[in-house]
């Protein structure tokens, strides 16, 4: 009996092997990519995702990293959902910008897509998220702020954008939860954009706001409001006086990352091609300049590392969203 099972298993394996080598033969991966590449920005022209996609396209071309021509196409809608839906039906000559929204859309019940269906190709950048208080605020430090929230979670108006379940929101929830605050009672005012959040903090219409460091650092340096904590693992060069959450006794690092996502079922060779291409791209001067101008940090991870990273991220977001009291 055992023997029969063994033979069956062996022949099954052979058939599988034959099938996969068939596929490989058809594709002839040695000359990937062999036609025009499509690069999806899951947003309208003019936004951050679109700008990132176009900048990457320009660098890959100008530095001769990718020979095939590459077109950026815009597929806006549903926090990236439309673009990723489109990607899920394409072949290896297509890729898209992605971010944690790929994970949170699903967890919040807004999408059926999960990252596991795709081929994560790279993580490229991160922005760190800052928490700022208005001028004249009674809370000097992040610890003061959290102590007050612990006493009365609803006593402070917190400005965020552009939606609940977003990074700016969840990073604050995570910090507060780690500190022991009842996060389901927090009072969030949700604005449409980071600019609106900034206006309302400058005008004192909210007490606290969370924003990307790139959005808030100029105002902090000009003394218009005060950043009390950032979500990075260590202090930033441009903001040497601002402590991290860790220094404030809240053990948390929270990146707002962006990466590149490939369609389902890419071959080893195709993945290797992009590992090499993006590995080369992140070393170029024009890439470094792009990061600096936008206030982004290098966060490069290749395909394998990104897959592992997304797994960790999903676990983290699942737990966070479950405990945040968000409506799904």
Q: Are 128 and 233 in contact (CB under 8 A)?
A: no
Per CB under 8 A, the list member of 75, 93, 177, 256 interacting with another protein is 75
Separation between Cα atoms, residue 122 and residue 39, nearest integer Å: 14
Q: How many helices (H) and strands (E) does the chain have?
A: 11, 10
Separation in Å, CA 119 to CA 187, 214, 222, 262, 303 = 38, 29, 43, 5, 8
CB of 293 to another protein, least distance (A): 4
User: In angstroms, how far is the first alpha carbon of the chain from the final one?
Assistant: 51
Separation between Cα atoms, residue 328 and residue 326, nearest integer Å: 6
Per CB under 8 A, the list member of 37, 63, 85, 311 interacting with another protein is 85
Q: How many CB atoms lie within 10 A of CB 247?
A: 15
Does position 224 interact with another protein (CB under 8 A)? The reply is yes
Helix, strand or coil, per DSSP, at residue 83: helix
Task: Give the count of residues interacting with another protein (CB under 8 A).
Answer: 56
Q: Which stretch binds another protein (CB under 8 A): 2-10, 29-37, 77-85, 145-153?
A: 77-85
Does position 46 interact with another protein (CB under 8 A)? The reply is yes
CB of 90 to another protein, least distance (A): 16
Does position 88 interact with another protein (CB under 8 A)? The reply is no
Give me the sign of the Cα torsion angle 100, 101, 107, 108.
positive
Q: Which is nearer to another protein, 50 or 98 (CB)?
A: 50
Q: Are 292 and 298 in contact (CB under 8 A)?
A: no
Q: Which is nearer to another protein, 57 or 244 (CB)?
A: 57
Q: In the range 258-297, which residues lie near another protein by CB under 8 A?
A: 289-290, 292-294
- Looking at residue 206, what DSSP letter applies? S
Per CB under 8 A, the list member of 99, 119, 123, 200 interacting with another protein is 200
CB of 133 to another protein, least distance (A): 16
CB of 292 to another protein, least distance (A): 8
Per CB under 8 A, the list member of 32, 74, 128, 287 interacting with another protein is 74
Helix, strand or coil, per DSSP, at residue 28: coil
Q: For tokens 């300049």, what's the residue?
A: 289
Site residues for another protein per CB under 8 A: 44-48, 50-51, 54-55, 58, 74-79, 81-82, 85, 108, 110, 157, 162-165, 187-193, 195-196, 198-200, 202-205, 214-215, 218-219, 221-222, 224, 289-290, 292-294, 326-327
């Amino acid at each position: 009996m055992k023997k029969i099972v063994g033979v069956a298993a062996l022949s099954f394996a052979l058939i599988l092997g034959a099938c996969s080598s068939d596929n490989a033969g058809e594709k002839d991966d040695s000359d990937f990519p062999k036609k025009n590449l499509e690069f999806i920005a899951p947003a309208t022209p003019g936004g951050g995702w679109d700008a990132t996609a176009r900048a990457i396209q320009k660098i890959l071309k100008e530095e001769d990293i990718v020979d095939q021509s590459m077109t950026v196409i815009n597929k806006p809608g549903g926090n990236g959902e439309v673009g990723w839906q489109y990607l899920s039906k394409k072949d290896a000559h297509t890729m898209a910008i992605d971010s944690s929204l790929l994970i949170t859309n699903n967890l919040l019940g807004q999408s059926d897509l999960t990252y596991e269906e795709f081929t994560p190709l790279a993580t490229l950048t991160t922005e760190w998220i800052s928490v700022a208080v208005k001028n004249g605020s009674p809370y000097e430090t992040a610890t003061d702020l959290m102590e007050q929230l612990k006493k009365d979670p609803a006593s402070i108006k917190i400005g965020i954008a552009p939606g609940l379940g977003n990074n700016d929101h969840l990073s604050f929830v995570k910090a507060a939860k780690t500190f022991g605050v009842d996060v389901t009672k927090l009072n969030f005012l949700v604005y449409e954009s980071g600019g609106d959040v900034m206006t309302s903090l400058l005008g004192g219409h909210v007490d606290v706001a969370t924003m990307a460091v790139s959005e808030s650092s100029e105002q902090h340096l000009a003394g218009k409001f005060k950043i009390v904590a950032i979500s990075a693992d260590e202090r930033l060069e441009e903001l040497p006086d601002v402590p991290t959450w860790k220094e404030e006794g809240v053990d948390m690092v929270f990146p707002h990352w962006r990466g590149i996502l490939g369609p389902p079922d890419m071959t080893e060779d195709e993945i290797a091609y992009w590992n090499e291409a993006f590995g080369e791209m992140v070393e170029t001067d024009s890439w470094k300049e792009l990061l600096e101008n936008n206030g982004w940090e290098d966060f490069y991870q290749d395909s394998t590392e990104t897959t592992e990273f997304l797994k960790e991220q999903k676990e983290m977001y699942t737990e966070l969203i479950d405990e945040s009291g968000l409506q799904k």
